[in-house]
């Protein structure tokens, strides 16, 4: 069920392209809350305007997404821009929206997508958490400063690509070329019907040297073996393999997570790459000759061997380890123009979480096809 409430916009808060964050006073409350509006869906509400909001996540006190969401503006119904195509996303929900997809027959990119047959050996990095995105970008840039990086926003978590302030900040800083929203997700600079066509669009429309495929913010986990939305990373790796890309699996690692199942190598990575992935992938690990190498990294390496490589090998899927140098990666991470945070932990509080994502980025950058 949806919890509907009325409120009045009282001001603006920090926003970014495609996402308007607002200050909202809910009826009957004494303190304002944060509300999120997507101009693509509703336009941008103004101070003094009455709005109808969905407060499910707000009232539950959720972390990611725990804001009021603007659903309707009865005082200011704005006509939207009619797309040329017929593509509908968030289909058959009350907020379904029409978009111009690159693989729609009306798209100027349609002939390119029709002719596109493969990814031309471009590396594709898939990962579990959206918080890994900037660290992967840092790793790519440390190895290949001029690489064109395209982000494919899959539909495992936040459907609006605009919800990611991280992706917006990376694009604004020139560190990523574009975001392509795939599947039911929407609001990227480019839209695609599937992850497969988004990957092809990343290469043949956005001219990517490296692609990062990851769900949006708001990973859903249940504590069960298979009930987590990051499992979708396996599908992105399958698509990359089928299309002739170079699949790279970023490992989810933590030295600070209080939950044993996520300490060291997360069980999400073990399940996704060891049990769910059906194509061979590269698994980036810390080079054991690096000065930073310690018992912790040796333990992660052993976990990768037993819970991913051996598990997959027993099914006939032969993954490869890639030992990657960490030289310069901490500086690259600290130099990012966006905030690093995973499950509320910063780079200083959980450096391993971001290091392993950066290792995946460096590994992918080394695979960029040379002209």
**DSSP calls for 251-270:** --EESS-SSGGGSEE-HHHI
**What is the Cα–Cα distance from 55 to 104, expressed in whole angstroms?**
34
Long-range pairs of 83-89 with CB within 8 A, sequence gap ≥ 24: 87/191, 87/193, 89/159, 89/181, 89/184, 89/185, 89/186, 89/191
How high is the mean pLDDT in each 10-residue block of the chain (371 residues)? 93 93 95 94 94 93 86 80 84 91 95 96 97 98 98 96 96 97 97 98 98 96 93 97 98 94 95 98 98 96 98 98 98 97 94 98 96 76
Q: How far is 21 from 11, CA to CA, in rounded Å?
A: 9
Q: What integer pLDDT is reported at residue 199 of this predicted model?
A: 98
Specify which residues 12 forms β-bridges with: 22
Fill in the DSSP letter of residue 278. -
DSSP H or E stretch at residue 192: strand 190-192
Q: Structure tokens of 273?
A: 């790459």
The encoded tokens of residue 296 equal 């912790």
Distance CA 192, CA 111 (A): 14
Query: What's the pLDDT at 86?
Result: 83
Phi, psi of 217 (to 5 degrees): -60, 155
Q: Are 347 and 340 in contact (CB under 8 A)?
A: yes
Q: Three-state SS across 39-60?
A: HHHHCCCCCCCEEEEECHHHHH
Q: How many CA atoms lie within 13 A of 14 on its CB side?
A: 6
For residue 150, the surrounding DSSP H or E stretch is strand 149-154
Give the C-alpha separation, 347 to 335, whole Å: 12
| C-beta separation of 104 from 112 below 8 A | no
* Closest listed residue to residue 347, CA positions, set 282, 254, 258: 254
What the chain holds in terms of domains, given with CATH numbers, is: 4-72 (2.40.50.220), 110-365 (3.40.50)
pLDDT at 188: 96
| Joined tokens for residue 88 | 């509908």
Long-range contacts of 331-337 (CB under 8 A, 24+ apart): 332/138, 332/139, 332/141, 332/142, 332/358, 333/135, 333/138, 333/358, 335/138, 336/134, 336/135, 336/137, 336/138, 336/175, 337/169, 337/170, 337/173, 337/175
8 Å CB contact between 290 and 326: yes
pTM: 0.95
Specify the 3-state DSSP secondary structure of 212: strand
Sheet holding 149-154, edge to edge: 190-192, 178-182, 149-154, 210-215, 123-126, 246-249, 282-286, 320-324
Output the pLDDT for position 355: 98
Per-residue confidence (pLDDT) for residue 79, from 0 to 100: 66
The neighbouring-strand residues paired with 211 are: 124, 150
The predicted pLDDT at position 36 comes to 95
Give the H/E segment covering residue 282. Answer: strand 282-286
As given in the structure block, the two tokens for residue 226 are: 């298979």
């Amino acid at each position: 069920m949806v919890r509907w409430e009325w409120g009045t916009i009282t001001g603006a808060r920090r926003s970014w392209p495609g996402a308007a964050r607002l200050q909202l006073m809910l009826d009957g409350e004494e303190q304002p809350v944060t509300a999120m509006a997507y101009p693509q869906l509703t336009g941008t509400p103004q101070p003094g305007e009455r709005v109808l909001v969905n407060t499910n996540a707000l009232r539950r006190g959720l972390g990611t997404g725990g804001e009021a969401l603007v659903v309707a503006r009865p005082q200011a119904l704005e006509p939207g821009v009619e797309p040329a195509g017929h593509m509908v996303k968030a289909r058959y929900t009350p907020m379904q929206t029409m978009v111009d997809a690159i693989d729609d027959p009306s798209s100027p990119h349609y002939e390119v997508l029709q002719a596109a047959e493969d990814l031309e050996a471009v590396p594709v990095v898939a990962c579990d958490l959206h918080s890994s995105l900037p660290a992967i970008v840092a790793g790519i840039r440390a190895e290949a400063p001029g690489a064109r990086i395209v982000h494919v926003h899959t539909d495992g978590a936040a459907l609006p690509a605009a919800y990611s302030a991280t992706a917006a900040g990376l694009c604004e800083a020139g560190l990523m070329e574009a975001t392509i929203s795939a599947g039911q997700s929407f609001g990227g600079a480019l839209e695609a019907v599937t992850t497969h066509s988004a990957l092809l669009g990343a290469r043949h429309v956005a001219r990517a040297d490296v692609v990062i495929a990851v769900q949006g913010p708001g990973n859903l986990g249940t504590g069960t073996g298979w009930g987590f939305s990051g499992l979708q990373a396996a599908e992105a790796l399958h698509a990359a393999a089928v299309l002739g890309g170079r699949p790279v699996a970023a490992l989810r690692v933590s030295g600070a997570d209080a939950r044993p199942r996520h300490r060291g190598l997360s069980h999400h990575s073990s399940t996704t790459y060891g049990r769910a992935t059906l194509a061979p992938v590269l698994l980036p690990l810390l080079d054991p000759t690096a000065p930073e190498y310690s018992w912790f990294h040796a333990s992660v390496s052993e976990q990768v061997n037993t819970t991913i490589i051996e598990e997959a090998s027993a099914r006939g899927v032969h993954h490869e380890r890639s030992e990657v140098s960490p030289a310069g990666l901490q500086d690259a991470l600290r130099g990012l123009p966006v905030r690093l945070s995973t499950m509320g932990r910063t780079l200083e509080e959980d450096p391993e979480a971001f290091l392993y994502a950066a290792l995946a980025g460096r590994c992918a950058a080394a695979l960029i096809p040379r002209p």
